[in-house]
Amino acid sequence: KPNPVHVAVTGGAGQVGYALLFRIASGQVFGPDVPIVLRLLEVTPALKALEGVAMELSDGAFPALTDVVLTDKPAEAFDGASWALLLGASPRKDGMERGDLLAANGALFGPQGQAIGQHAASDIRTIVVGNPCNTNAMIAAANAPDVPADRWFAMTRLDENRAKSQLAAKSGTPVGEVSNLAIWGNHSATQYPDFANARIGGRPVPEVITDDAWLNGEFISSVQKRGAAIIAARGLSSAASAANAVIDNVRSLNAGTPAGDWTSVGVQSRGEYGVPEGLFFSYPVVAKSDGTWTVQEGLQHDERAADRLRVTIAELEEERAAVRHLLG
Would you say 295 is a known binding-site residue?
A: no
15 is in an annotated binding site: yes
CB 266, CB 154: distance < 8 Å: yes
DSSP assignment of 137-160, as one string? HHHHHHT-TTS-GGGEEE--HHHH
The annotation status of 34 as a binding-site residue, yes or no, is no
Among 46, 65, 167, 198, binds ligand NAX (CB under 6 A): 46
For residues 145 to 184, the per-residue mask of contacts with ligand NAX, x marking binding by CB under 6 A and - elsewhere, is: ----------x--x--------------------------
As a whole number of angstroms, the distance between CA 21 and CA 24 comes to 5
- # chain residues binding ligand NAX, by CB under 6 A: 28
Contact 45, 87 (CB under 8 A): no
41 binds ligand NAX (CB under 6 A): yes
Dihedrals phi, psi of 9, to nearest 5 degrees: -130, 125
Binding mask 109-148 for ligand NAX (x = CB under 6 A): --------------------xxx-x---------------
| 24 interacts with ligand NAX by CB under 6 A | no
Q: Which residues contact 17 (CB under 8 A, 6 or more apart)?
A: 9, 11, 40, 53, 87, 243
Q: Considering only 12-20, 95-103, 193-201, 291-299, which stretch makes contact with ligand NAX by CB under 6 A?
A: 12-20
Active-site residue flag, 301: no
Are the C-beta atoms of residues 264 and 282 closer than 8 Å to each other? yes
**Ramachandran region, residue 202 (left: φ > 0; alpha: ψ -120 to 50; beta: rest):** left
Residues 6+ apart with CB under 8 A from 59: none
Catalytic residue among 119, 187, 301, 325: 187
> Known binder of ligand: residue 324?
no
At closest approach, how far in Å is the CB of 32 from ligand NAX? Answer: 26
Q: What's the order of all strands across the beta sheet hosting 199-200? A: 178-179, 199-200, 203-204
Instruction: Provide the annotated binding site.
Output: 11-17, 92, 98, 105, 112, 129-131, 162
Instruction: Provide the annotated binding site for NAD(+).
Output: 11-17, 105, 112, 129-131
Question: Which residues make up the interface to ligand NAX (CB under 6 A)?
Answer: 10-11, 13-17, 41-43, 46, 87-91, 108, 129-131, 133, 155, 158, 187, 237-239, 242
